[in-house]
Amino acid sequence: MKVSFPYMGQTTAYKKFLELLGHEVIAPSHPTQHTFDLGVLYSPEFICYPFKVMMGSYFEVCEKGAEMIISSGGSGPCRAGLYGKVHEEILRKAGYDVDVVIFDSIFRHTGYFIRQIKRIKNKTPLYKVAKYALFALEMVKYLDAVDRKINIDRAYEVESGSFDRAREEIDKAFYKCNNKKELKKTYEESVKKLDAIPKRTVKESDKVRIGLVGEIYVVMERATNNQIEKRLNALGCEVVNHQTISEWIEHNTKPRKINKSEGWRMWDLAEKYKLCNCGGHDMENTGRIMDYAAKHFDGVIHLMPFGCLPELVTRSLIPKLSDDLDIPILTMSIDEQNGEANTQTRLEAFCDLCKNRKKVKTGAVTKKAPEKETVSV
């Protein structure tokens, strides 16, 4: 069967997993303007941006012959849990005979989860499905760790593009792995490769760290957020982002009582503000902003799809968080109308603000910094 999936996160691992199950995999291309245009054309006008981008990506893989698309969903107030069936209905009305298979946490709907596994396992025994899934998860964890390192070190690269070229080579190396021992070896070699890239020397007191929070798709998918991590690195800022596929899986595949994931730790921190969870990532984002402030980050950028209701909850709390925690927070609303120049201008202004505040705090300048800075876009 010809199988595909959304372009989101570590696509190399998804492709490898489905190939191990014996499928012919049609890997989605990196989203382009054509992807966005297709998604906008076929999506309801009021729907959020991740829906539109995924819609465009699904049309592209269906045009290449995909018969099944595998994605994740969810329960609760966030509309993302309903997207799979809506995507499938739109594709079928457009003439594509395709099944959209949605996975949610095994602990929310165990029977449903097992039925979905049986739909995608092909002729593979269930014990091998579990083995291949754990292998793919290990690959995702390593690749996420590589990206975390790049988003810090790339801020100091001497030759522009050095880390991006290395990342492409690392991706190919991981794809060739066939067991966990090879994954570990490839990761260690990848770290050495990244460490060998020439970097500028910057005093620790001059380093500026920016934390990212927001809706997982627009935070994680670089094409939707105008390459925000790369742009911040080019402005000399280290970037830390904990919205990753490996963290999402860790958060959703273990019972709450024994789950030690970062996501649940953020929920516990957010309890201080007595939030009512309305879906999405509102609780994690609040806790993560508090955690960034406690670790003395210089600023936080909150990314939200235009019209995302859970993220609007976080946005409404941001002025108080910025005031209470004494940390600048920039909220950026993302949709198909966002331009590169607009994004670049706002990031430059925010980075200048963070750098100037740091100079004041470290005594590099004597001018008094603003007491609080909160920016919404």
List all residues 6 or more positions away from 213 whose beta carbon is below 8 Å from its beta carbon.
Answer: 219, 243, 281, 284, 285, 288, 289, 292, 300, 301, 302, 303, 314
116 within some domain:
yes
Q: Give this prediction's pTM.
A: 0.90
109 lies in the same domain as 180 = no
Number of domains in the chain: 3
In 3-state terms, what secondary structure has residue 209? Answer: strand
132 within some domain:
no
Eight-class DSSP state of 29: P
Domain boundary among the residues 203, 232, 257 is at 203
184 lies in the same domain as 261 = no
81 lies in the same domain as 178 = no
pLDDT tens digits along 88-136: 999 999 999 999 998 877 777 788 889 999 999 999 999 999 999 999 9
CATH number for the domain including 104?
3.40.50
Cβ-contact 176, 134 below 8 angstroms: no
Cβ-contact 238, 208 below 8 angstroms: yes
Residue type for position 134:
L
Both tokens of 203, joined, read: 């005093």
Domain span holding position 289: 207-376
Q: What percent of the chain has pLDDT over 70?
A: 92
Both tokens of 165, joined, read: 């070229």
Q: What is the pLDDT of residue 372?
A: 53
CATH number for the domain including 253?
3.40.50.11900
Domain boundary among the residues 154, 181, 203 is at 203
Domain boundary among the residues 99, 124, 149 is at 124
CA distance 176 to 191: 17
174 within some domain:
yes
pLDDT tens digits along 128-158: 999 999 999 999 999 999 999 999 999 999 9
